[in-house]
Amino acid sequence: MSLDLLGYGAFFLATALSFGIICLGLNIQWGQTGLFNVGVAGFVAIGAYASALLTTPETAGRFGGFDLPIFIGWAGAAAIAGLISAAVGALTMRLRADYLAITTFGIAVTIQLLALNLQSLTGGPFGIGFIPRPFAAVQENALLFNLANLALILAVVTVLYLALERLLRSPWGRVLRAIREDETAALSLGKNARAYRLQAFALGGAIMGLAGAIQGHFIGFIAPDNYVSALTFQVWAMLIVGGAGSNRGALLGAVLVWGLWSASGALIAALFPPDQQARAAALQIAMIGIMLAAILLFRPRGLIGERGTVSRFVG
């Protein structure tokens, strides 16, 4: 029994941390650079599909199936997501914040639509299955499998976190924050604000793509339904709750909100009869929505976002 619990705990934490990686990516875009990306789900999807297409065996009627190793899939996911983010950024960077929000929102909707309908590329509504899972050899043993994957994801998170912390304290990171707060002042320093913003957007997008790949490989199956606006708003809630502008906040928020999500899911499963489960699941989303609004009202800096180092954008 306690082993099951441990196994579940590992699974929970692994999933929460994979969301944490998405939050880290969003933190670069929003927390550090002030870019309002409402299309997070789209970039996660790009990474997930890229990696899936690179690593799955050949499938009739569908592009891809290159059967490459997992780590190549992940690298490819990050690279492709990063490239597409750069392209999107190049087109949209000069839009003011709310127009950027609407546009990125539209991009995610379009990406999901493409994933759903381009069956020969993405498998359509059926998605892509048989995605190679890390430590597949032990997947029969739930405890070992979940612990091993947790360790892997934890390693990735640690490396990312340390690298990002280093990056953000570097001159590059300082310029980014200067641009976020006061573009005119930053421009007067002779820095090409647009180039910096583009780099930040692309880096954030690449990290989101990587997270999408990690999630896809962990579960072994992806479908267009995973990448809808609910995902975007969940991630935003995580980042805001934890504290935008802070990498630790991003990770904390992810674990916390995912925890609330899982706990509420368990509660619903316990309280509602099976035929009512679907409609009761809507309450989980309502809860996330209310929580996001409440945090913005009462504690906009989030749990561990520090006053002063957090942008005037956030409060």
Partner 1 sequence: MNPQFFADGLLMGAMIGLGAIGVTLTYSILRFANFAHGEFVTWGAYGTLALTGAIGFAAGSDIDAIGPFSFGWPLLIAGLAAAILTGLLALALDLILFARLRAKGTAIIMVMASFGASMALRSLCEFFFTSAPRYYSRDIQIAIEILPGMRMTPDQLFMIGLTAVLVAAMHLLMTRTTLGRSMRAVSENPALSSVVGIDVDRIVRATWLIGGALAAAAGVMSGIVVQIRPFMGFDLLLPLFAAAILGGIGSVPGAILGGLIVGLAEAAAVPLIGANFRAAVAFLLLTAVLLLRPAGIFGVRE
State yes or no: residue 262 binds partner 1 (CB under 8 A). no
Q: Does 240 bind partner 1 (CB under 8 A)?
A: yes
Please report how close the Cβ of residue 292 comes to partner 1 at its closest, in angstroms: 3
Residues that contact partner 1, how many (by CB under 8 A): 47
Piece of the chain touching partner 1 by CB under 8 A; list 16-24, 79-87, 202-210, 276-284 = 276-284
Q: Considering beta carbons, is residue 157 or 237 the nearer one to partner 1?
A: 237
Residues with Cβ < 8 Å from 195, sequence gap 6 or more? none
x/- mask, partner 1, residues 154-183, rule CB under 8 A, reads ------------------------------
Contact between 95 and partner 1 per CB under 8 A: yes
3 binds partner 1 (CB under 8 A): no
277 makes contact with partner 1 (CB under 8 A) = no
Q: How far apart are CA 68 and CA 87, in angstroms?
A: 26
* φ, ψ at 222 (rounded to 5°): -130, 150
Question: Which range touches partner 1 (CB under 8 A), out of 11-19, 67-75, 255-263, 289-297?
Answer: 289-297
Q: Which of 48, 198, 250, 288 binds partner 1 (CB under 8 A)?
A: 288
Name which of 151 and 281 has its Cβ closer to partner 1. Answer: 281
Residue window 103-132: x/- pattern of binding to partner 1, with contact defined by CB under 8 A: x-xxx-xx--x--xx---------------
Site string for partner 1, 51-90 (x = CB under 8 A): ----------------------------------------
Query: Which residues in 190-219 contact partner 1 (CB under 8 A)?
Result: none
Selected range binding partner 1 among 166-174, 178-186, 187-195, 293-301, rule: CB under 8 A: 293-301
- Determine, following the binding rule CB under 8 A, whether residue 265 of this chain makes contact with partner 1: no
* CA distance linking residue 199 with residue 263, whole number of Å: 37
Torsion of CA 156, 160, 162, 167, to 10 degrees: 160
The encoded tokens of residue 230 equal 């609910």
Cα separations in angstroms, 118 against 106, 127, 164, 227, 313: 18, 10, 35, 15, 39
| Site membership for partner 1, residue 230 (CB under 8 A) | yes
Q: Which residues contact 292 (CB under 8 A, 6 or more apart)?
A: 233, 236, 237, 240, 241
Examine residue 46 and tell whether it contacts partner 1 (CB under 8 A): no
Q: What is the rounded CA–CA span in Å between residue 215 and residue 11?
A: 11
Name residue, tokens 């957090």.
Answer: 310
Nearer to partner 1, 15 or 311 (CB): 311
Binding flag, residue 93, partner 1 (CB under 8 A): no
Q: Determine, following the binding rule CB under 8 A, whether residue 258 of this chain makes contact with partner 1.
A: no
Residues found near partner 1 in the complex (CB under 8 A): 36, 38, 91-92, 95, 97-99, 101-103, 105-107, 109-110, 113, 116-117, 229-230, 233, 236-237, 240, 278-280, 282-286, 288-294, 296-297, 300, 312-315
